[in-house]
Amino acid sequence: MEIKPPVFVNAVPPYGHVIANEKWRGSVLVQSLKGTGSVKTIYEEELGVVDFHLSNKSCILYVSETDIVAGNNYKRKLVRFRNANSSLQGIVVVEKTRLSEQYFSAMQKFVVFELGLTLLPVASQLEASQLLTQIVHGESKDNPFRRRSVSRLLDPLVMSLVQQIPGVGKVKAMALLQHYSSIHQLCNAGTHELEHIVGQATAHHIHHFFHNPLV
Amino acid sequence: SEPPASSSSPSGLVSVLVDSRCITACVDVVSSLRQRYAVTAHVCSLDGCDFVVSNRMAVERQSQSELAGMPNRKRLVERVTSLQVLFERVCLIVEKDRTKPGEASRPFQHTRYYDSTLASLVRAGVRLLVSGGPEESAALLAELARLEQRKGQAISVPLEVKGHRQQALLFYQTLPCVSYVNALNMSHSFRSVGQLVNSSIEALQKGACVSRPRAEEIYRCLRYSCDTTLMTTNTPKNGL
C-alpha cells in the first residue's frame, strides 16, 4: 500500500498567494478570493489533509456544514491536521450555519481545548474567502496586537516602587535613591543610616515594610 | 496562614478572579460560574482584564459588535497588548450580541474590518473563543480554568489579602510583568518583602508562579541602579 506523506509543502506561497488543495479548484471560495480579494491561488495535489497554505506560515483546514452534520469523520481529519503541522499555525475554519450550529460548541471544545488549534467560524464559503483574504493581506501590515518587547526605562519604575513604602513620598523617595540606588540596596540598609536621610519615623516605616513578617 | 503549595483546592474546585469593574456587565456570567459550574469567582480590582483563570491566563470578553466597531479598536489594542505583557496567555471570548425580547436575531455580518481584527489577533497569538451568550461564556471560562488546573497552573493561594500583606501586594504589582495574581502568589510565598527582594531568580520564578524571562525581569528591576539625575523632571505615572 502506498503511504503518502500527510502534507507536502513544496514552497512558501509568494506574497498575495495561497496554495490550495486541488479539490478546491472551481469552488466559490477560490473564485471569490480571486475576484474580490485579489488573492491568487496556486493549486497543489499533494497537500494531504490541508486545504490551504497561507503565506504567513499558517495553514487552514476547512470543515464544511456537511462534514459536521454527516458525523465523526472530521475528528480524525482534525487530529491528522494537528499532527502534520507542528511547525505551522493550524487554523480550522468551520461553517457555522443554522444546521451545524448545534454541534459548534462541542466542536470548539475539541479543536481549541483538546487539540490547541485556532478555530474561526464562518457562515459560508464566501465569508471564508473574505477572512482568508484578510489573513493573507494582514501579513504585510504592522500588527497592532503583536506583543512588544518591553524596553521601558526602569528609573521611573524604581521611583514608583519606593513610593509604595508607607510614609515615603516623592521627595523622600528621591533622597533615598540618591544614597541607595536600587531597591535591593535600600532593603538591606540599616535603620541608623536611613534615619540620617529621612528621619526616625520614616526609617522605622521602611524597615518595617521590608522586614516584618507578612501575616 | 498555610503555605500556598499545600493549600491547593480539592480537585474539581477552581478559582477565577473577576474584575470589579466588569461585575455589572458580567453579573450573569458570574452567577452561572458559581451556581452551575461550582467555580469560586472572586471579585477584585484586576485593572486591565475581565477574568483571570490561572496563574498565567487572562480572559477578556467582548461582544461581537464591540469587536466589529472601529471606535473600540484603540481600547482593544491597548488592553490586549498590556495583557500580553502581564500574562503568558491571553484569551478573548467573542460573545454574540444579546437580542431584545421580541426582536428577531439577525445573523451577524462579517465586515472586512471585523475579519482583519480577527486575523491580527490570531497572528498575535491571542486565543479566540466564540460564545453564544453569557451562559456559554461561563461554561468556557470554567473549562479554561479546569484545563489550566490540569496543567498545574491553577490559582491556589488564598484570595483574601489583609493587613500588611495589602501594602506588599501593591508594591509587588508595581514590579514589571507582575499581574495581580502573581502579586497574590508573592504575598503568600515570601515571609517578608525583604525575603523577596533578596531572592534568586529561581526562587522568584517559583514563588510568583511566573516564567523564567519574567522572573529575570523582576530580578533585574529589584537590583537596577537608578540614576536620580534622570528623574529631576516629571516622572511618568506608574512608569507605564
Query: Is the pLDDT score of B2 beyond 50?
Result: no
Instruction: Answer yes or no: do A134 and B227 touch at CB < 8 A.
Output: no
The answer to whether the beta carbons of residues A209 and A166 sit under 8 Å apart is yes
Distance (Å) from the alpha carbon of A3 to chain B's nearest alpha carbon:
33
Q: Report, as an integer, the average pLDDT of A120-131.
A: 94
Q: How confident is the model at residue A45 (pLDDT cuts 50, 70, 90)?
A: confident
Query: Nearest CA of chain A to the CA of B24: how many Å?
Result: 26
Residue A172: C-alpha distances to residues A155, A182, B85, B166, B184 (Å)? 16, 14, 30, 22, 28
Q: How many CB atoms lie within 10 A of CB A30?
A: 20
pTM as predicted: 0.88
Q: Nearest residue of B to residue A167 by CA position? A: B167
Strands (E), chain A: 17-21, 40-44, 52-53, 58-63, 89-95, 118-122
Q: How does DSSP assign B129-189, residue by residue?
A: EEESSHHHHHHHHHHHHHHHHHTT----S-S---THHHHHHHHHHHSTT--HHHHHHHHHH
The β-bridge partners of A94 are A63, A121
Q: Which of A113, A156, A166 sits opposite B239 (nearest CB)?
A: A156
| Ramachandran category for residue A155: left, alpha or beta (phi over 0 → left; psi -120 to 50 → alpha) | alpha
- Supply the ipTM of this predicted assembly: 0.86
User: What does the alpha-carbon distance between residue A130 and residue A124 come to, in Å, rounded to a whole number?
Assistant: 10
Query: Residue B203: which region, alpha, beta or left (left: phi > 0; alpha: psi -120 to 50)?
Result: alpha
CA distance B120 to chain A (A): 6
Phi, psi dihedrals of residue A166, rounded to the nearest 5°: -55, 135
Tell which of A145, A168, A210 to mutate to test the B interface (max B CBs under 10 Å): A145
Average pLDDT over residues B5-29: 76
Residue in chain B closest to A57 (alpha carbons) equals: B123
A93-107: pLDDT as tens digits:
999 999 999 999 999
What chain A residue is nearest to B82 in terms of C-alpha separation?
Answer: A147
Q: Residues of chain B with pLDDT > 90: what percent?
A: 69
How many CB contacts within 8 angstroms connect chain A with chain B? 185
Q: B151 and B107 in contact (C-beta within 8 Å)? A: no
Residues A113, B147: C-beta atoms closer than 8 Å:
yes
Of residues B205, B223, B200, B224, the one with CA closest to residue B215: B205
Distance CA B39, CA B103 (A): 33
A150 and B130 within 8 Å at the Cβ level: the answer is no
Q: Which residues contact A8 (CB under 8 A, 6 or more apart)?
A: A44, A46, A47, A48
| A145–B112 C-beta distance less than 8 A | no
Lowest mean pLDDT among A135-139, A146-150, B166-170: A146-150
**Interface contact A143, partner B, CB < 8 A:** yes
Interface contact B121, partner A, CB < 8 A: yes
Cell of A189: 540598609
> What does R_g of chain B's alpha carbons equal in angstroms?
19
Q: Please indicate if any CB of chain A lies within 8 Å of the CB of B198.
A: yes
Strands (E), B20-73: 39-44, 51-52, 57-63
CA distance B58 to chain A (A): 15
Q: Do A164 and B119 touch (CB under 8 A)?
A: no
Query: What does the pLDDT read at residue B4?
Result: 42
**Chain B residues in contact with A89 (beta carbon < 8 A):** 122
Question: Is any Cβ of chain A less than 8 angstroms from the Cβ of B143?
Answer: yes
Given pLDDT bands bounded at 50, 70 and 90, which one contains residue A150?
Answer: low
Pairing assessment for the beta strands B51-52 and B39-44 based on DSSP bridges: unpaired
Provide the percentage of residues in chain A whose pLDDT is more than 70.
91
**A133 contacts chain B (CB < 8 A):** yes
CB contact under 8 A, A138 and B197: no
CB B85 within 8 A of CB B52: no
Asked if pLDDT for residue B239 goes beyond 50, the answer is no
Average pLDDT over all residues of chain B: 88
Task: Give me the residues of B, 78-117, that contact A with CB < 8 A.
Answer: 80-81, 84-85, 107, 110, 112, 115-116
Q: In what order do the strands lie in the sheet with B51-52?
A: B39-44, B14-19, B51-52, B57-63, B89-95, B127-131
Once rounded to an integer, what is the mean pLDDT over residues B67-94?
91
CB-closest option in B144, B175, B226 to A182: B226
In whole angstroms, give the CA distance from residue B89 to residue B58: 7
